[in-house]
Amino acid sequence: MALVRKEFLQLRRDRRTLGLIVGMPVVLLLVFGYAASFDVKHIRAELVAHDSPVLRRTLALGGAFTVASAVAPDVAAAREDLKRGTTLVAVLVDAQGRPVGALVDGSQLLAASTALRELQRLSAGANSVRPLPILTLYNPGLRSADYMVPGLIGFLLVQVGVMITALGVVRERERGTLEQLMITPLSRLELMLGKIIPYLAIAFLDLVLILAVGLLVFSVPLRGSVPLLLVLTALFLASTLAIGLLVSTVAQNQQQALQTAMFIIIPQILLSGFVFPLASIPWGVRWISYALPLTYFLPIVRGIFLKGSTIADLWLQVSVLAGMAVFFVALATSRFSKQLG
């Protein structure tokens, strides 16, 4: 009984841990409740060749699709839009305003499955003589592995970047060895880089392992440039490692570091589009998605793997990710002090 009382006393004094223990389930419940939805709505679609107000209304019926106001001039332009990710579905329309075919971006597994189902329903409802020809691009068989393995790279790198870095620094602080380093002539930047570079190397080793397993065991296609993948992964890692360092500046001990890291990692899994498509996440929590580096890295990694995307296709995500990397590195540097107080 004395031990139980002592544990409660310790918990009561450690407000931060207590806050995380009590607050995290509530936050996760809210996030899960809102985000965990496989019902994809408002899939981005565009018409190709001709406009058709009737078809627009039909596609938008029930909220399955959100149709862009602009019409792609031809199939080549529609393919470009699909590759860039500005649309997930392109419906080819004839001069009479009837759908004569569709292209679907298969790299977005759940959205693509829903789109295919809705398009087939539309085709059946139109009482056409023949079903609407639909071509699924980038992941024609809608293989789960092709969708999940590139995403896993992002997920695992978040784990290594945030959790392992935070724990590494906090462990050093807890053992008192960080104090020893603080009295050396090492600059703050050297101290930070010295802690980050080993984990960067580990993260790249992880990346190579995942790539090898993905390509050799799961036969996931890698259609884009490997150097581009590595460079953009390094950019992503810069933000995750900086977040890890930030966690280490707020956590007093390894338990707090672990809980804070989990608090950051779990939303990245649920809200970044790793499992649930962004389109299915309500705006009440989707704004969180846009603050997460993984949200921008997933289209990059899936794009390079499945679509053979180039920097020209990914400039928006790369720009945001670069901005985030600069922001988080600057924030971590300003908070990471070489003094105890």
Query: CA-CA distance, 121 to 117, in Å (whole number)?
Result: 6
DSSP 33: H
DSSP letters for 156-173: HHHIIIIIIHHHHHHHHH
Tell the smallest beta-carbon distance from residue 169 to another protein (Å).
Answer: 14
Query: CA-CA distance, 239 to 161, in Å (whole number)?
Result: 8
List beta partners, residue 44.
66
List beta partners, residue 90.
46, 103
Tell the smallest beta-carbon distance from residue 180 to another protein (Å).
Answer: 4
Residue placing its CB nearer to another protein in the complex, 155 or 336: 336
- How large is the C-alpha radius of gyration of the chain? 24
Tell the smallest beta-carbon distance from residue 292 to another protein (Å).
Answer: 35
Q: Which residues, 6+ apart, have CB-to-CB distance to 232 below 8 Å?
A: 297, 300, 301, 304, 314, 318, 321
Query: CA-CA distance, 177 to 183, in Å (whole number)?
Result: 10
Tell the smallest beta-carbon distance from residue 176 to another protein (Å).
Answer: 4
Tell the smallest beta-carbon distance from residue 175 to another protein (Å).
Answer: 7
Residue placing its CB nearer to another protein in the complex, 184 or 252: 184
Strand order through the sheet with 43-48: 65-67, 43-48, 89-93, 99-105, 134-137
Residue placing its CB nearer to another protein in the complex, 144 or 337: 337
Tell the smallest beta-carbon distance from residue 168 to another protein (Å).
Answer: 13
Query: CA-CA distance, 180 to 264, in Å (whole number)?
Result: 30
Residue placing its CB nearer to another protein in the complex, 117 or 175: 175
Residue placing its CB nearer to another protein in the complex, 10 or 180: 180
Residue placing its CB nearer to another protein in the complex, 141 or 341: 341
Residue placing its CB nearer to another protein in the complex, 98 or 188: 188
Please identify which residue in the block is written with the tokens 């104090």: 179
Residues that bind another protein (CB under 8 A): 175-177, 179-186, 339-341
Tell the smallest beta-carbon distance from residue 259 to another protein (Å).
Answer: 23
